[in-house]
Amino acid sequence: MSRHHTPSLEQELFAARAEAARLEARCEELETQNFELASLFTASSQLHGTCREAVLTAMEEIIVNLIGSEQFAICELDDPALNVVSSVGIDAQQVRWTPRVQEVVRRAEAYVGSVAQTEGTEPLACLPLRAKNEVIGVIVLFGLLSHKAEFEPLDHQLFDLLGTLAGPALYCTRSVQA
């Protein structure tokens, strides 16, 4: 005759608690994902417009309210220099056509530094704005809000979104203006 080992009540309770903890963690993970999607949805919805002022305002609001920076400039490429079209919390003179910015433009890839390792007037991040397969400008960030220690994974997604949606939006406003 074989014996079947039946779990004790204590073992079942332990298993149930472990499962509850696992589901709670999964629930939190899903909440975070939902929140990230909400941020991306909001950002992408705001970047549709033909009015230059509206596009620049949307970009500023995304950077301030969703990324968390009040020290940045939005620039259009005026080869071989930059034309600052909007700045918040900084002197436009602070934006320079440095090797780092040139590299970002050349490679069409964002530079994202660390708050702890960025000094003086060096940019904390430089993001290319792309349209029609070329870089038409950059966003240069010089700092984060005081209560935000570093960039987070969602910020990198917002950077990509700005690069791919804000670039064409800004480019289109030139066509409307012309």
Partner 1 sequence: MNRKKILLVDDSATILMMERTILMRGPYDVVTASNGEQGVAKALSEKPDLILMDVIMPRMNGFEACRRIREEAGTRATPIIMVTTRGEETNVEMGFQAGCSDYVTKPINAVELMTKLKSYLGD
The contact set with partner 1 (CB under 8 A) reads: 28, 31-32, 34-35, 38-39, 41-43, 45-46, 58, 61-62, 64-68, 70, 145-148
E strands, the chain, in order? 71-78, 81-88, 111-112, 125-131, 134-143
Min separation Cβ 38 and partner 1, Å: 4
Min separation Cβ 62 and partner 1, Å: 6
Instruction: Pick between residue 46 and residue 86 the one whose CB is nearest to partner 1.
Output: 46
Taking CB atoms within 8 Å and a gap of at least 24, the contacts of 99-104 are: 100/126, 101/126, 101/138, 101/140, 104/128, 104/135, 104/138
Min separation Cβ 12 and partner 1, Å: 29
**Are 92 and 73 in contact, with CB atoms under 8 Å apart?**
yes
Min separation Cβ 174 and partner 1, Å: 23
Listed in sequence order, the residues at least 6 apart from 100 whose beta carbon sits closer than 8 Å to its beta carbon are 111, 122, 123, 126
Q: What are phi and psi of 122, to 5 degrees?
A: -65, 140
Instruction: Pick between residue 134 and residue 150 the one whose CB is nearest to partner 1.
Output: 150
**Are 107 and 130 in contact, with CB atoms under 8 Å apart?**
no
Q: Which amino acid is at 98?
A: T
Instruction: Pick between residue 64 and residue 97 the one whose CB is nearest to partner 1.
Output: 64
**Are 85 and 76 in contact, with CB atoms under 8 Å apart?**
yes
